[in-house]
Amino acid sequence: MSAAKSSQGSVVESIQESANLEIIADSGDEIYQRKATVLNEAMQAVGMGKYQWWLFVVTGFGWFADNLWPIVTSLILAPVIQEFQFEAPYLKLGQNVGLLVGAIFWSLGADVWGRRFSFNITFFIIGAFALAAGGAQNDITLISLIACWSVGVGGNLPVDSAIFLEGVPASHQYLLTVLSIWWSLGQLVGSLIAWPLIGNSKFSCEVDQVPCLRKDNWGWRYFLFLMGGLMIVLWAARFFLFTLHESPKYLMGRGRDADAVRVLHEIARYNGKEGALTLSEEDLTSISNTPGDAPEASMDTSALGAVRRKVARFRMGHIKSLFATRKLAYSTTLVIILWALIGLAFPLYNSFVTYYLATRGADFGDGSVYITYRNQVILSVIGVPGAIVAGYLVELPSLGRRGTLSISTILTGVFLFASTTARSSPALLGWNCAYSFTSNIMYGVLYAFTPEVFPTKARGTGNGLAAAANRVFGIMAPIIALYGDLTTSVPIFVSGALFLAAGVIALLLPYESRGKAAL
């Protein structure tokens, strides 16, 4: 789940498309910006129709998988450690490295060879390696295959968010936030399926069973086979049941104006709005020949040019603009620190929660695999309404964004500390339910608040820096867990302390964006 949250930083980066176009303009590629503006107007004319609602579903699969697979590694953690006898953090380290590589590779790759190819291949990669992982004979093989499927998972949100944003009119880009419904379903579905499989003593070794033999521990393998098969089914649905058109903006960026116009007309025809679209190829090509432009003015249509537009937001000038004044520099620094601390604290606990529940439950005398996975389902259900509550609290004048973020983050840390005092399984479950609820509120506010406090011109840069800090510190979590010993409460105390520190820092943020236009 932690890595899922980290990779969701890509959504934060993508959601500010208009801000990124300003950055592209500043990078010298003004022709791209002009053409992109024309395509935005054309997409608005196409409207929100059947094609876009299908996009909501098939790109929603990406959100679903983004949360499902980090949860999968958490759910199989206890039984595979019992069988293979290795240190738990190594499994999560392999996963987080794969997610980071995937996010970078697919994000840039989608600008080189197109969104459509990346969209059509990532799910197949996940499913194929997950099915192979179900037959793993040792921990090295399993961790390697987890890293491989995580490369596919890491590409889901960067690619799918770009496809969705570039395929819907600006008036409906708010639906990118609504797509998080699929994200919640991923965690819930994974937990519900793991409960009868891994949580069944017929398929899994009991916590105190020594040795745990392969023949007694098929539950996690059945689970991987089923989850891998589900990804293949979803891949087939995206590949065979829905015709995804290549992004018009990608085609335009590669100099294929005629194809960009053709795609828009095909989408309009599919929506029954052909008559509403008057865009022609000449409308785009004429922009490249606007009188008054410098003779050397032209749009770079190479693959390298596409990548340059992607990384333009990280030019030094845009980074400097985030620190233009003392107050803005103070705000930017605190936001990045917040993302870094939470990026470390969240996976340090959440990635190992199933393992914690199993080992602590054993101490209480009721650590059966059935109880462990039943509790995981309960935690998944409790976390779902957190985002809804967050949406209500942030609009309260007495709380706003800063107050809600600070209180929910501090409470998340408090509940983690409190969980170490539990002397029974029901008490431990209660504290973890409270943690699950408040941590979902925390993330709901964080994702909404972050884009609002960065200046429009450099919003893409700020969001990118925050997401990068989150991912890098997420990789550090399993390394710290290696030295913290998961059989003790040390990692829980460290995670709780980080949440408390982040909650205090949230109070120090100089801007409150409730009821105000973004800077």
Is the whole model's pTM more than 0.85, yes or no?
A: no
The predicted-structure confidence for 278-288, as pLDDT tens digits, reads as follows 888 788 778 76
pLDDT of residue 338: 93
CATH for the 315-512 domain, from 1.20.1250.20, 1.10.3720.10, 3.90.380.10, 2.60.260.40: 1.20.1250.20
Please report the pLDDT score of residue 156 as a whole number: 81
| Residue 2: per-residue pLDDT | 46
In order, the DSSP letters of 411-457 are: HHHHHHHHHTT--SHHHHHHHHHHHHHHHHHHHHHHHHHHHHTS-GG
Q: What's residue 4's pLDDT?
A: 46
* Start-to-end C-alpha separation, the chain: 31
- Measure the CA angle with vertex 274, ends 268 and 277; round to 5°: 85
- CA atoms of 342 and 355, how far apart (whole Å): 20
- The enclosing H or E element of 477 equals helix 459-484
Give dist(CA 160, CA 83) in Å, integer: 36
CA distance 171 to 169: 5
User: What is the reported pLDDT for 317?
Assistant: 59
Res 144: pLDDT: 95
Segments of the chain assigned to CATH 1.20.1250.20 = 1-287+303-312, 315-512
Low-confidence ranges of the chain (pLDDT < 50): 1-4, 6-28, 292-297, 516-519
Gap between the Cα atoms of 129 and 140, Å rounded: 14
Query: pLDDT tens across 249-306, in order?
Result: 888 877 788 888 898 889 999 988 887 888 887 887 787 655 544 444 455 555 566 5
Q: Tell me, what's the pLDDT at 455?
A: 65
Determine the CATH number of domain 1-287+303-312.
1.20.1250.20
Task: Quote the CA–CA distance of 233 and 440 in Å, as a whole number.
Answer: 29
382 phi and psi, to 5 degrees? Answer: -65, -35
Given this model, what pLDDT does residue 476 score?
A: 85
Residue whose entry in the numeric block shows the structure tokens 């929506």: 271
